[in-house]
Chains A and B, each alone.
Chain A
Amino acid sequence: GAVVSQHPSRVICKSGTSVKIECRSLDFQATTMFWYRQFPKQSLMLMATSNEGSKATYEQGVEKDKFLINHASLTLSTLTVTSAHPEDSSFYICSAKVGEGQFFGPGTRLTVL
């Protein structure tokens, strides 16, 4: 299957700092990537759809100025959590659209102190 990587796998930061998470498709080109967030014992929640070369589409309730998404190439999408706060602590997972389905990256666990 298609391989999607994420970096970093885990990050701990202080409140008020910004954190960038990278999502890469390793052996294929991904025009469309997605960013999800998962809180403990909860389902994955779609945050935004990232399209190469255009602005991301955000889901209702997700602040686009707080969660900056850039999809500058066909193999890389980045999510920047700006001015992170403890309530932003979560498991952030990207995925790439492959045909009708999606393949997920390994996730990034963000802890904001």
Chain B
Amino acid sequence: QKEVEQNSGPLSVPEGAIASLNCTYSDRGSQSFFWYRQYSGKSPELIMSIYSNGDKEDGRFTAQLNKASQYVSLLIRDSQPSDSATYLCAVRKGGGADGLTFGKGTHLIIQP
């Protein structure tokens, strides 16, 4: 089982709609969870971080964490064409290990 799993997509969403991105992780000891956006040929850009169960909202973005289900999601409201990118889910295990484990990413396409 892969440590961090994401559906690679592409996920196609009409402009103005809600894009829903999902991620599962295998290590129950994981403590910190991040969503990064990566445009083709560029490095990742941090969008959201979440550390406790529940929802966390920042502008058009909402991150959701359910540790019991080992599930993290990202909702993007009022999707814009500029949101088209690959979204990477990353997990930090804790216990002194600071490096991040990334999923392969979901390719999101916002259709004008």
Residues of A within 8 A of B (CB): 1, 32, 34, 41-46, 49, 59, 93, 97, 100-107, 109
A46 near B101 with CB under 8 A, answer: yes
Residues of chain B lying within 8 A (CB to CB) of residue A104 = 36, 43-46
Q: Collect the chain A residues with CB atoms within 8 Å of residue B104's CB.
A: 41-43
Give min CB distance, A110 to chain B, whole Å: 14
A8 to chain B, nearest CB (A): 14
Tell yes or no: B25 within 8 A of A by CB: no
Question: In the assembled complex, which residues on chain B have CB atoms less than 8 Å from the CB atom of A102?
Answer: 34, 46, 100
Cβ–Cβ < 8 Å partners of B30 in chain A: none
Which one of B32, B45, B46, B92 has the highest number of Cβ atoms from chain A below 10 Å of its Cβ? Answer: B46
Q: In the complex, what distance in Å separates the CA atom of A109 from the CA atom of B51?
A: 32
A101 to B98 Cα, complex, angstroms: 9
Contact between A107 and B42, CB atoms less than 8 A apart:
yes
CA distance A46 to B91 in the complex (A): 12
Contact at B42–A43, with CB atoms within 8 Å? no
The answer for the CA separation of A93 and B51 in the assembled complex, in Å, is 24
B105 touches A43 (CB 8 A): yes
Contact A46 B100 (CB under 8 A): yes
Q: Which residue on B lies nearest to A41, using beta carbons?
A: B104
Which residues of chain B are within 8 angstroms of A109 by Cβ–Cβ distance?
41
- Chain A residues in 8 Å Cβ range of B49: 100-101
| With contact pairs A44-B44, A104-B45 given, residues A34 and B88 touching in the complex (Cβ less than 8 Å) | no
The 10 A-B residue pairs with the shortest CB-CB distance, nearest first, are A46-B99, A43-B102, A107-B43, A104-B43, A43-B104, A44-B102, A93-B43, A104-B44, A106-B43, A100-B32
